A and B are shown apart, each in its own frame.
Chain A
Amino acid sequence: METRLITKSANELLPAVSDSSLPVFETAQDVSRHIAQSITLNTNTIHIDPLPLLIYVWRTIRELSGDDAYERYITQHTTNYPDTPPLTRKDFFLCQQQQKWRGIQRCC
């Protein structure tokens, strides 16, 4: 049996991360290091490879907004409760919202 320990962050739970060629950014330093690495200096041209960074930014925006909440739920659900069927996307969001707004969510 696989003995991998708990994932460090929800970032790694995302299906997109299964593509191992993409870097995982944990801190601002990781991002700046990546930017530095993605710029290759030749004698007279500068080549910048922005794609992994853009994907990272897009993933962050999705996670921050909750756009990917259902995908994360499915990943989590299939790992822990493989025998029970998961909620549909619609039901999941209804439940999420009901639950969220029962407590104090917004401040002065």
Chain B
Amino acid sequence: MSRQYSAFALARHALQPDLAWERAWASPDPKPSYDVVIIGGGGHGLATAYYLAKNHGVRNVAVIERNYIGSGNVGRNTTLIRSNYMIGGNTAFFEHSMKLWEGLSHDLNFNCMVSQRGQIVLAVNPVQLDTFARRGNVMRLNGIDAELLDRGEVMKLLPYLDYSKEARWPVYGAIMQPRAGTVRHDAVAWGYARAASNLGVDIIENCEVTGFVMDGTKVTGVETSRGRINCGKAGIAVAGHTSHVAKMAGLRLPVESHILQAFVTEPIKPIVHHVVSWGAELFYLSQSDKGGLVFGGHIDGFNTYTQRGQFPRIQTVAECAVSLMPFVSRLRLLRHWGGIQDMTPDGSPFISRTPLKNLYLNGGWCYQGFKATPASGWTYAHTIANDDEHELNRCFSLDRFEKGRELDEFGIGNWTYKQ
């Protein structure tokens, strides 16, 4: 049980250097049985456990993580948060997430370094700017902040872009969400783990789920590398391994696992003060607090569970960066890495009941897992506690393809590679 973090605690530790900080979360052995077992100790799994305990009073919960906390996609994303979605369902869900982000550091008593520096999406032709105006109108009607910028306004905010006549993709304008920004992703994992642990949730690391114990269509427990753990309900939140884990329960899902790469350059002085996204190709860039430019693009384009990216994608993304911001050509790429994402046919996620009575599914996050973390945990906890979806995640049901209720946000599921 770790103590409250505060300015006084900092001062106390500064004056008493020998006083060690307590572990942020407990490391218990698994109990034989829990009310709810969450499979996957990533951002979504930990957030779910936290909101189960906080909002629904379900505290006899275990989060089972195959590796260590923060080892998966919660530590591999590009840390962006935004709620500039247009399709009904997504709009309200991601705005709920944004509101939770805004109060998260206080809620968790952990500094998540939420930085609402604004996201600017550049239009590279007049038609695109028209579609941005439409998207902005939809956002504003839903109470979300959106501003349309013309070329002159963009030049003031982002003076370092290529505005020359030779620019391959001229900047016509942009849509901006001032409340969007970045969050320190590791802190999100640690903050949720600590807050959940303080509420009585058992976080069990280095424990791999190897199978489900079934009684007909009911899950009664999970087999793990540390023995059998019985449970009243089980929830899957394992991102790229969603198909793999669901298969243990006999489920076949509308999911393919793909790799998305991310990149960071050597650190430079502050120059990019916003999150900048590009309309010519899927490309987004921000500058970290350490000074490195952090950016990413499309998935590699074929399904894989390896976290090794292929070189052609690195080349494409670097070309995007240089085309948009010519000064980037002078920088060296410091690191690049890959994360495995569960891509769905319509590019939208699942937070849902499953055909099995007490097994729940959170997955299919495609490109948008990190920014959804708080709302995902919040609604998934509701779904598990009440055995029913919340209004905010009803549209993310597993059976939406059967019912013709696809949520086709920009069509950026894996389908784009099959056309």
Q: Do A and B bind each other?
A: no
Interface residues of A (CB under 8 A from B): none
Interface residues of B (CB under 8 A from A): none
